[in-house]
Amino acid sequence: MLENPFIQKMLGYAEQGMDLALGWLTSPAAWSQFGLLVVAFGLAWYLSRRLNKAISPLLTPAEDAVGLVATSRRFVLGFLPLLLPLLAYVFTAIGEQVVRSLFDSGAVIAFGKRLFLFLAARILVQRIITDPFLKLLGKFILIPIAALYALGLLDTASAALSEFQVGVGNISFSLMALVRGVIAGSLLFWLGRWSNDQSAALIGKKEELRPATRQLAVKAVEIAIFGLAFLLLMNIMGINLASLAVLGGAVGVGLGFGLQKIASNFISGVILLLEGQATVGDFVELDGGEAGTIVKMTARAIILETYDGRWIVVPNEDFIVTRVINYSDQGSANRYEAEFSVSYDTDINTVPAIVEAAVQGHPDVLLEPYPADCELRGFGESGIDFSVEFWVNGIDDGRHKYTSDVLFLIWNALKDNGIEIPYPHRVVEFKGEMPK
């Protein structure tokens, strides 16, 4: 078992470490460096406490303070825990220069300097970073790299990873390039996501733009940000973009055959955003019977929410090639009717004024384009039939039951004026004797 090459190599490293430790323990230069490390840490601890007491009141905003200045002060305040390890690193670096000029050796104090940098990275990940994704990157990438640097093994690990080559077709890259790409890609796409969220929030505040224009601007910024991130990632990994021509051709063929529906829906989505005929918040109905409020517009489909809480995913192409009824168009008025009847004993000349006044009293009934209009529709079997037309901004369903409200108003108005709402009457004639 001891003849295993890996075990032999590890034992060799352990023996070298023991010799190095014994050398440090018996060397006056090493003891002086240990002393300088203790002095540097003590000075950094004292100075960081003083600076914390002086800086914290200046950076701490009021609890109810909002705005860019208050946010920036809170952001800077969160980095105060880094004062101790960074000051210790600076003082140790100064001490290293002094030791190397006196003893021509500084291995111990250099190790201490790297150790303080490792502590700074650990504090950054554990106490300062709050974003879950960045904290994950720090835990599994930043801290291991800082640990390798503190132990002096970072260059060795980098050289080993650089020597290991990986080839995929005509593309060849080292394992180090892959690791560098994973790190850079994670940071770039996190930054891209953050930038996209900020730009989307900024564009969403531009009320002077049409909703469709805002959606199109958000999509354009998103494509630009992540496209730039992809190009930067390829450059960082050292991959020649010309070598991706074959892959690009394959993707083009796939779009032409297998992905033509996806491409069609994507282009249809762009057309919808440009024309603005349907946008978020509109109530629409398609030829197939699907109806609901548009709650989200994606690159592939539009999501409708029905009034019973269900979501319907409709491909963008359906909004282009089929007939679509848009009931709202961001606030356009819609006309509805409410039918009712009155008794034949009623003076029907007074009914329109009474009903129109009652319906117009509803807070959502509009005066434009037309006020409430009560019309005589016919003479029924049991009563005289009327209908009142009214205009509202919105749909008579879901949260707004306009027709129901209007019928309540009509009922109360007719009752207050002594007008009877009839119910069916039947006249039955008997021939011969009355049945017992």
| pLDDT number for residue 6 | 53
- pLDDT number for residue 251: 60
Confidence (pLDDT) at 13: 57
Q: Mapping DSSP to helix (H, G, I), strand (E, B) and coil, where does residue 258 land?
A: coil
Per-residue pLDDT at 407:
92
For 362-367, which contacts have Cβ atoms below 8 Å and span 24 or more sequence positions?
362/390, 362/402, 362/405, 362/406, 362/409, 364/392, 364/393, 364/394, 364/400, 364/402, 365/390, 365/391, 365/392, 365/402, 365/406, 366/333, 366/390, 366/391, 366/392, 366/393
pLDDT given at position 1: 46
**For the domain with range 278-326, which CATH number is right: 2.30.30.60, 3.30.1130.10, 2.60.40.1170, 2.30.40.10?**
2.30.30.60
Task: Give residue 303's identity as a one-letter amino acid code.
Answer: I
Tell me how far apart the alpha carbons of residues 333 and 134 are, in angstroms, rounded to a whole number. 49
pLDDT of residue 29: 60
The answer to whether the CB of 83 falls within 8 A of the CB of 52 is yes
Tell me how long the chain is.
436
**What does the pLDDT read at residue 150?**
82
Cα separation values, 399 from 329, 359, 393, Å: 18, 19, 13
DSSP H or E run through 303 = strand 301-305
State residue 411's pLDDT score.
93
Distance CA 81, CA 127 (A): 8
Parallel/antiparallel/unpaired status of strands 324-326 and 283-286: antiparallel
Q: What is the pLDDT of residue 412?
A: 92
How far is Cα 283 from Cα 329, in angstroms, rounded to an integer?
8
Q: What does the alpha-carbon distance between residue 141 and residue 432 come to, in Å, rounded to a whole number?
A: 104
Q: Is the peptide bond before 369 cis (omega within 30 degrees of 0)?
A: yes
**Across 142-195, where does the E strand assignment appear?**
165-168, 171-174
Domain locations in the chain as residue ranges: 5-152, 172-256, 278-326, 333-416
| Domain 333-416 in CATH 3.30.70.100 | yes
Q: Are 127 and 81 in contact (CB under 8 A)?
A: yes
Measured in degrees and rounded to the nearest 5, phi and psi for residue 81 equal -60, -15
HSE-CB for 419 with a 13 A CA cutoff: 22
pLDDT digit of tens for each residue in the chain (436 aa)? 445 565 665 666 566 656 655 555 556 566 667 777 788 888 888 888 888 888 887 778 777 777 777 777 777 788 888 888 888 888 888 877 777 776 666 677 778 888 888 888 888 888 888 888 888 888 888 888 888 888 877 777 777 777 777 666 556 667 777 777 788 778 878 877 787 777 777 777 776 666 666 766 777 777 777 777 777 777 766 666 665 565 566 566 665 665 677 777 778 877 777 776 777 778 888 887 778 888 888 777 888 888 777 888 888 888 888 888 887 655 567 888 889 999 888 888 999 999 999 999 898 888 888 899 999 999 988 889 999 999 988 777 656 678 888 999 999 999 999 888 888 777 777 777 766 6
